[in-house]
Chain A
Amino acid sequence: DIQMTQSPSSLSASVGDSVTITCRASQTITKYLNWYQHKPGKAPNLLIYAASSLQSGVPSRFRGSGSGTDFTLTISGLQPEDFGTYYCQQSFTTSLTFGPGTKVDIK
């Protein structure tokens, strides 16, 4: 299986800050990378697919970039509702794998 890593594992930021989360794959996955936000007690929510395409209904402050093995999710102008855990997920292989998550707290 392709292994996914994320950094940092957690972060705390203020409203209005710009936040960047990094995801790395153990081998090239071209652009087969999706991002999710997960809040306690709720199902995960798709934010970005194909590395950089914004899912319908997701605010434009969320931006994905990268290809190959290195990817980033940037939140520009953090909002109070952006707390939660963010996961990357590769779909280069049929067997999907998720990163370990990055927990985002609002100061």
Chain B
Amino acid sequence: QVQLVQSGAEVKKPGASVKVSCKASGYTFNGHYMHWVRQAPGQVLEWLGRFNPSSGGTDYAEKFQGRVTMTRGTSISTVYMELSRLTSDDTAIYYCARGSWEPFDALDIWGQGTVVTVSS
């Protein structure tokens, strides 16, 4: 079946970086953008950016420009999201999600979420 499986929870110190993986299966990987969305405790959903598996191209939210990097892994059908210079404000659940119904960019399949905790 179509699914996205993310890597496990992370605990990081302020100033460090975190790299979260998202492995896709059950569909044509190159046919869909992969988006990253996060939700901090008590906060709304926040879009970080998207990765085009076909071209390797990226689009990042202005807020995260210079701090976020999305890449394709060497293993098939895996996308990585790395966030650097972490602060306590980056404590959140991070989701990868498949973009569908182009051009409406509806996020129809989501990973299970990865909890990232930033604490000294």
Residues of A within 8 A of B (CB): 1, 31-32, 34, 36, 38, 43-46, 49-50, 53, 55, 87, 89, 91, 94-101
Contacts and interface: CB of A to CB of B under 8 A. Distances in A.
Contacts, number: 67
B107 A50 contact: no
A18 B28 CA distance: 39
B99 to A, nearest CB: 9
Contact of A43 (B44, B105, B111): B111
Interface residues of B, number: 24
- Interface of B (DSSP majority class): strand
A46 B47 contact: no
Nearest to B99: A91
Contact of A49 (B46, B59, B101): B101
B106 A96 contact: no
Contacts of A32: 103-105
B44 to A, nearest CB: 5
B116 to A, nearest CB: 15
B106 A55 contact: yes
B45 interface: yes
B9 interface: no
